[in-house]
């Protein structure tokens, strides 16, 4: 697991989310020593990448660069598998992502007058490929969300 919570915007490198072979082996050995009566296979979770492309209108006099940085930090923070999600204690396994959540995250920011547009894309964090925009991204029951290259435009008035 990552040592910290990511960079200044809260971005986590995908590579940092994958436990080492040694860590997975230690977990497997620990579980094998317990009489559970079942056979277990220990592997890292599957991560569903999510890319947000959004446009907000700043309140009069707001600094666009600061608002963009704050908005990106809010998105990376919310769609963080370790410390994000609706309760701020990590994204729940299998919980889908709804475009309405993005509107809510951005509208709560100080200096945002209006969230004008939001596109939500499923993305592959390994290849970087993005699928077509969706209003809802379904996750497998064993999957977690992973922020992948959000984009935010700020329109000044």
The predicted-structure confidence for 62-75, as pLDDT tens digits, reads as follows 999 999 999 999 99
Q: Do the domain assignments include residue 13?
A: no
Provide the number of structural domains found in the chain.
1
Please state, as a whole number, how many other Cβ atoms lie within 10 Å of the Cβ of residue 125.
19
Residue 92 maps to a domain: yes
Residue 143 has pLDDT above 80, yes or no: yes
Asked if residue 32 belongs to a domain, the reply is no
Is 18 among the domain residues? no
Please check whether residue 114 lies inside any domain of the structure. yes
For residue 69, the enclosing domain spans 46-155
CA distance linking residue 18 with residue 78, whole number of Å: 20
Position 2 scores a pLDDT of: 43
Q: Is residue 4 scored above 60 in pLDDT?
A: no
> Encoding tokens for residue 74?
């809010």
- What is the per-residue pLDDT for 3? 40
Q: Is residue 3 part of a domain?
A: no
Report how far residue 146's alpha carbon sits from residue 104's, in angstroms, rounded to the nearest whole number: 18
Higher pLDDT, 37 or 5: 37
Q: What is the mean pLDDT of the chain?
A: 87
The structure's pTM equals: 0.81
Is residue 143 in a domain? yes
As given in the structure block, the two tokens for residue 33 are 């020593």
What would the pLDDT profile of 9-36 be if each residue is shown by its tens digit?
A: 567 776 777 777 787 778 777 877 777 6
Asked if residues 40 and 31 have their Cβ atoms less than 8 Å apart, the reply is yes
- pLDDT score recorded for residue 13: 74
**pLDDT at 7 (0 to 100):** 58
Asked whether residue 54 is assigned to any structural domain, the reply reads yes
Q: How far is residue 138 from each of residues 11, 15, 94, measured CA to CA in Å?
A: 22, 23, 8
């Amino acid at each position: 697991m990552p040592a910290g919570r990511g960079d200044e915007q809260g971005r986590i490198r995908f590579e940092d989310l994958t436990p080492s072979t040694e860590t997975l082996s230690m977990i497997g050995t620990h579980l094998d020593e317990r009489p559970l009566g079942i056979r277990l296979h220990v592997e890292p979770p599957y991560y569903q990448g999510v890319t947000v492309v959004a446009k907000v209108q700043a309140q009069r006099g707001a600094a666009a660069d600061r608002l963009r940085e704050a908005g990106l930090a809010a998105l990376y923070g919310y769609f963080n598998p370790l410390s994000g999600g609706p309760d701020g204690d990590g994204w729940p396994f299998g919980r889908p992502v709804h475009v309405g959540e993005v509107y809510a995250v951005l509208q709560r920011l100080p200096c945002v007058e209006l969230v004008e547009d939001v596109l939500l894309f499923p993305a592959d964090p390994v290849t970087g490929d993005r699928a077509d925009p969706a209003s809802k991204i379904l996750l497998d029951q064993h999957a977690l969300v992973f922020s992948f290259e959000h984009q935010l435009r700020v329109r000044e008035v």
